[in-house]
Amino acid sequence: MFETRVVSELSQKEIRDLLIDLGCDDEGIEIMAPKAEHFIIYAKNLDPRAANITKQEFLSAGGETAVAWKTLDLSIEKSEVLMMGTLAQYERVIKKLRAQPFDLEILAEEIERSVESYKNRIYPSDGGCEIMGILNVTPDSFFDGGRYERTEKAVERALQMEKNGADIIDIGGESTRPGSERVSIEKELERVIPVIEDLAPRIDIPLSIDTHKPEVAEEAVKAGADMINDVFGLRTEGMAKKVADLGVPVVIMHMQGRPKNMQENPSYRDVITDISTFFLQRIKEAKDAGIEDNNIIIDPGIGFGKRLEHNLEILKRLNEFTSFGYPVLLGASRKSFLGEILGKRADERLFGSLAVAASAVEKGASYLRVHDVKETRDVIKTVEAIRG
C-alpha cells in the first residue's frame, strides 16, 4: 500500500529538512527547495502593459498571472494582477522584471519585500507576540465615584495586569465603541493624565495612550506614556506631525466612519484590499511627516465600521497584513462580533476572545489588545510552543 499525504505550508527550513530525510544531495536540495514553496501575490495599480509583461514572464517561468480581460486589450487605465508561482519561479521572474519598462523594476522590488516580510514576521523586541492590556478610564460602573478614586482604581488594575503578564498598558479616556460620543480635549486629559503620572514611576512596562488628539498625545507622553495608539490612523489634523516630533511608536488603526455612526452601513469592495490601501496611504503620510519606519504598527480595527462578515474575513486573512513589513496589532477582545457568533453578552465572551487570540498569533499578529491578560498569556505561550 502507498501512503500519500498532503504536505504543504512548510518553511524553507522544514522543506530542506524533509529533502535531507528523503536522501537528496546538497545540489538537489538547492534546486528543489525553492520549488516547494508557493505564493499567490496580489498587486494593483499596474500599467496594463506592465500587467501583460508580468503575465508573459510568469508563463515563461512555468507560473501564471491572472489579469482582467480589459488588461489584455489595454482598455483599462490601471490593472490588478494575481501572480502565482513557486519561490523558484518568483526568483526567475523578478530577475526578468528588473530589466523591463513601465515601473516593473519597482514591482520586482515590492514582490521581493512582500515575500520577505511575509516569511519573517516582524516581532517586537525579543520576539514573540506581546500583550497590550486594556485600561479604560471612561465613566462606567467600574470607575464610578470621584476623580481620585477613579485614578486609584485604574492604577491598581494596571499593576495587576503587569503582574498577570502584560507587556504594555493601553490607557484610554475616550470610548470608541460603536455609538460613542466624542469627548473634549479637557475631559480626556482630566481622565488620563493623573493615571499616567501615578502609574509611570510605579510600573516597569511601557504605557500606551489610546487617543487620536495631538494635544492629548503630547501631554500623555510628557506625563510618561511611551507610545500612541491612534484609532483614527493619524487622520486628525496635526496628529502625524505631533507623533513624529514625539518620536514614539504609533499604532495606525483602520476605521470606516466615526464611532458615532460607523456601524450604520459599513461597505467595502474587498475588505482586505480596501484596508491595505488605507494602510499604504497612512504609512506614506506618516513617513512624510517624519515618523520612523520602525515606529509604525498597523491594526485592521476589528469592529470599527465592519459587519460580522468583514470582521471574519479580516481574521481569516490576517496574515496578508504581515506582508507590508510592519508589526500587526489586533484588538478583538470581547467585541460584539463575538456576541453575534456566540449569542453571548460581553462578560461571557472570554473563550471566544481566546479562540481569536490563538488564531491571530498563528497568523502572525505581533500584539494583542485584550482585557483578559492572564488567560491570553497562556494562549500565546502555547501557540508559540507549537509553532516552534
Shortest separation between residue 176's beta carbon and ligand PT1, angstroms = 5
- Among 97, 111, 291, 302, the residue binding ligand PT1 under the rule CB under 6 A is 302
329 binds ligand PT1 (CB under 6 A): yes
323 grid coordinates: 506582508
Element (H, E) at 133: strand 130-136
Rule CB under 6 A: which of 353-372 touch ligand PT1? 369
Q: Which of 52, 211, 229, 366 binds ligand PT1 (CB under 6 A)?
A: 229
Residue closest to ligand PT1 when measured from CB atoms: 331
| Closer to ligand PT1 by Cβ: residue 206 or 331 | 331
C-alpha cell, 316: 481569516
Instruction: Indicate the residue among 199 and 332 with the shorter CB distance to ligand PT1.
Output: 332
369 is catalytic: yes
| Distance of alpha carbon 351 from alpha carbon 283, whole angstroms | 34
Of the residues 191, 242, 369, 377, which is catalytic? 369
Instruction: Write down the catalytic residue from 282, 334, 335, 377.
Output: 335
| Residue 178 interacting with ligand PT1 (CB under 6 A) | yes
335 a catalytic residue: yes
The only residue of 336, 354, 359, 362 in contact with ligand PT1, by rule CB under 6 A: 336
Enter the DSSP assignment of 357: H
Is the sign of the CA dihedral 125, 129, 132, 133 positive or negative?
negative
Least separation in angstroms between CB 350 and ligand PT1: 14
Under DSSP, is residue 32 helix (H, G, I), strand (E, B) or coil? helix
Dist. CA 253–CA 122, nearest whole Å: 17
The beta-strand segments (E) located in 163-293 are 168-172, 207-210, 227-230, 250-253
How far, in Å, CA of 361 to CA of 368, rounded?
8
For residue 37, give the C-alpha cell: 514553496
The whole-angstrom separation of Cα 230 and Cα 358 is 24
Sole binder of ligand PT1 in the list 171, 195, 253, 373 (CB under 6 A): 253
Q: Taking CB under 6 A as the rule, does residue 154 contact ligand PT1?
A: no
Phi-psi region of 60 (alpha: psi -120 to 50; beta: other; left: phi over 0): alpha
Q: Torsions phi, psi of 129, nearest 5?
A: -75, 135
Among the listed ranges 8-16, 99-107, 121-129, 331-339, the one in contact with ligand PT1 (CB under 6 A) is 331-339
Residues 154 and 189: beta-carbon distance below 8 Å: no
For residues 160, 220, 130, 166, the Cα torsion angle rounded to the nearest 10 degrees is 0
Which residue's CB is nearer to ligand PT1, number 114 or number 136? 136
Q: Which is nearer to ligand PT1, 26 or 181 (CB)?
A: 181
**Amino acid at the residue 226:** D
Q: Does 331 bind ligand PT1 (CB under 6 A)?
A: yes
Q: Segment 369-388, which members bind ligand PT1 (CB under 6 A)?
A: 369
Asked if residue 299 binds ligand PT1 (CB under 6 A), the reply is yes
Q: What angle do CA 184, 190, 196 make, to 5 degrees?
A: 125
**Distance of CA 87 to CAs 117, 162, 276, 358, 361, Å?**
14, 42, 23, 28, 24
Residue count of the chain, please give it. 388
Q: How many residues bind ligand PT1 (CB under 6 A)?
A: 18
With CB under 6 A as the contact rule, the residue among 48, 301, 352, 364 that binds ligand PT1 is 301
Q: How far is the CB of 336 from ligand PT1 (least distance, A)?
A: 3
Residue 210 in contact with ligand PT1, rule: CB under 6 A: yes
Among 191, 212, 335, 377, binds ligand PT1 (CB under 6 A): 335
Which of these segments, 57-65, 175-183, 215-223, 240-248, binds ligand PT1 (CB under 6 A)? 175-183
Residues lying near ligand PT1 in the complex (CB under 6 A)? 176-178, 210, 229, 231, 251, 253, 299, 301-304, 329, 331, 335-336, 369
Q: Which residues are catalytic?
A: 335, 369
